[in-house]
Amino acid sequence: MQVSLTVNDKAVTADIPPRTLLVDFIRDHLNLTGTHVGCDTAQCGACTVHLNGHAIKSCNVLVLQAAGGQVVTIEGVTPADGTLHPMQEAFRQHHGLQCGFCTAGMVMSAIDLAGRHASLDDQTIRAELDGNLCRCTGYHNIVASVKAGAASMHQ
């Protein structure tokens, strides 16, 4: 089947099998490998991208369900000048990552979270990131990163 959508502000059209998952399309057809496949069951959040302005787990969405939509991956949040997005910079400054496997999904979820809340407390951040798993940290630095990133985004 043919599918057309916009990924990171670029129009994309491809012939794909009807059961192709959005995460596989992003990684295998577009070679955007920042979006990770972790669990294939929407439990870990490593595959989180934005679809039409909302964070979604791309491992349980068919690319056909995204047809005509706007997808943003971790590669698409970086400004054209190459600087980091404020949330990425906050993760760097506050040591919100260790091995990095979950980081793209965490950042994408955190950007969505910051866009929906004018101010964030630790409890809200922890509750909202419940579907994003990190096997390396105790989440303290992730929460600090999200709080700092959200503050930078709202300046």
Structural domains of the chain, with CATH: 2-76 (3.10.20.30), 86-153 (1.10.150.120)
- Name the pLDDT band for 119 (thresholds 50, 70, 90): confident
User: What is the predicted pLDDT for the residue at 42?
Assistant: 87
- Choose between 99 and 10: higher pLDDT: 10
Percent of the chain with pLDDT over 70: 100
Residue 153 contacts by C-beta under 8 Å, 6 or more apart in sequence?
86, 87, 111, 114, 115
Q: List strand residue ranges (DSSP E) for the chain, in order.
A: 2-7, 10-15, 48-51, 54-57, 70-72
User: What is the predicted pLDDT for the residue at 118?
Assistant: 84
User: What is the predicted pLDDT for the residue at 81?
Assistant: 94
Write down the pTM of the prediction: 0.95
CA distance 133 to 114: 18
Looking at residue 37, what DSSP letter applies?
Answer: P
Evaluate if residue 33 carries a pLDDT over 90: yes
